[in-house]
Amino acid sequence: MLFHSFPFFVFFPITFVVYWSLTQHRLRMLWLLGASFAFYGSWNPWLLFVVLFSAAFDFLIARRIEASPSPKTRRVLLVVSVCVSLGILAFFKYTNFLLDTAVSTFNVFGFDFRHPAFRIVLPLGISFYTFETISYVMDVYRGRLRAERNFLDYALFIMFFPHLIAGPIVRPKHFLRQVPRLKRFDWNRLEFGARLFLLGLIKKAVIADHMSAIADPVFAAPSDFSTAAVWMAVFCYTTQIYCDFSGYTDMALGIAHAFGFKLPQNFNLPYAACNITDFWRRWHISLSTWLRDYLYIPLGGNRYGTLATYRNLILTMLLGGLWHGAAWSFVFWGFYHGSLLAAHRFFSSRSRSGEGPFKPIRIAFTFLCVCIGWVLFRAQSMTDAWLILHRMFTPADGQMFASAEITIAMAAWSAVLLGHLVSSYLDMHSALRWLPAPVMATGMAVVFLFVQVLMPHSGGAFIYFQF
């Protein structure tokens, strides 16, 4: 059930109306949990057991950790919890990848190994909720959070349907304290949520899905296309992935507001970043901060010298890349970004940074580096990625897009650029609060209708659903 699909437009009003019709807070939370089960179960009800097992196991472990006076026991429990969580993730996501890699390695040495391809269904959102359960147990272990006593509240933290499938990766401390708080219906908050949802809908359905139709043929057969077409496809994918993922997040945030919950911000104009470190402060913020807090800092962060810092950066990003998908291209993408972060750290310590006349050039250069990274991220194999990069930088003949695609791409790029520019200087949400209600309502209705008209026929799932 996608946020921008007809079933969701039936599911949401029912959930919303019943939720606010219930007078007791506990019943509301229970209803929301039930709705989240229905939402997730609409894909594959059997996979609910995986989420529930993961949630229940870590819930119990966290309580044991808190109750245990022995640091050694606490540490053992933490290790068991992390191993089980990562084990489940590894089984569902990496079994075939690990077997492929092992077999290929053996075959390099002259063995003739083969293995059957296991048909393992990847539970939706497993990477996201695994990170959430790990952060919960670690926070309890570190004493930053009290273990939750109510399993239903904890289950809602994991299962809350707006963030369940593709984030943002919610921190337990941030969400769990919202659950017992009595919710009051607030029209202004609903309006704000509707605005966020609408913004997400524009990004996803109007921009990302159209960009996908342009980028996909090139990434499917890069050798058929000219250098110009390949550049255009790379820019289209760069636009698509931003609008797709941030669009999902905006919708998730908007829906959460409708139920009186606040989810963390996940994007902050990432393509306006003036260096790669800045980019990672603006892109998928909930993941980058998670990686920082639960991987980079435990690895030692920047506390053990320059070389160790570079190693930690590269290792963190490499694992972050692997988190995205079970393929070498994701590992290389992570390595590429880790290397860029290390390089930036190296050069920034030797040069002046910040505002200045060269800022647009720095932004453009960062953008270009990010675009090259997306080639690794999107290509179907490393061979394809290399071919695309080769065609980008070596003039080549081939097919080119027609006027319709070029017009659509230009319009989408302009919209994203304008959005970045305006939002850099103006808080749009605050500005819109001053508009009279009839103007605001008409504007939102017109935009919603236009969005519907401009939605392509082949609108697909969100990119991050596969992770």
Q: Give the footprint of another protein on this chain (CB under 8 A).
A: 6, 9, 186-191, 194, 217, 224, 399, 401-405, 407, 430, 433-434, 437-438, 440-442, 444-445, 448-449, 452-455, 457
- 96 vs 226 by CB, closer to another protein: 226
Residue 252's SS3 state is: helix
Q: Which is nearer to another protein, 9 or 346 (CB)?
A: 9
Sign for the CA dihedral angle at 379, 415, 433, 198 comes to negative
CB of 78 to another protein, least distance (A): 44
Beta bridge partners of 225: 399
In the bound state with another protein, the residue whose beta carbon lies nearer, of 64 and 189, is: 189
Task: Determine the distance from the C-alpha atom of residue 116 to the mean position of all C-alpha atoms in its chain, rounded to a whole number.
Answer: 31
Nearer to another protein, 221 or 315 (CB): 221
Q: How far apart are CA 123 and CA 52, in angstroms?
A: 12
Closest contact distance (angstroms) between CB of 402 and another protein is 4
Which residue's CB is nearer to another protein, number 73 or number 452? 452
* CA separation for the pair 358, 86 (Å, rounded): 44
Q: How far is the CB of 230 from another protein (least distance, A)?
A: 14
Spatial distance between the Cα atoms of 25 and 79, rounded to a whole number of angstroms: 36
Smallest gap, in angstroms, from Cβ of residue 350 to another protein?
45
CB 212 within 8 A of CB 431: no
User: Looking at 163, 210, 324, 337, which residue is catalytic?
Assistant: 324
Does residue 203 contact residue 243 with C-beta atoms inside 8 Å? yes
429 is catalytic: no
User: Which amino acid does the sequence have at 3?
Assistant: F
- The Cα–Cα gap between 263 and 178 comes to 10
Q: Is residue 214 within 8 Å of 409, Cβ to Cβ?
A: yes
Question: Measured in whole angstroms, how far is the alpha carbon of residue 121 from the centre of its chain?
Answer: 20
Determine what percent of the chain falls in helix, strand and coil, rounding each to the nearest 5. Answer: 75, 0, 25
Contact 461, 244 (CB under 8 A): no
**DSSP of 329-352:** HHHHHHHHHHHHHHHHHHHHTTS-
Q: Identify the CA nearest to 347 among candidates 365, 330, 364, 331.
A: 365
Least distance (Å) between residue 409 CB and another protein: 11
Q: Which is nearer to another protein, 72 or 457 (CB)?
A: 457
Smallest distance from another protein to CB 126, Å: 31
Q: How far apart are CA 162 and CA 379, in angstroms?
A: 29
Residues annotated catalytic, as ranges: 324
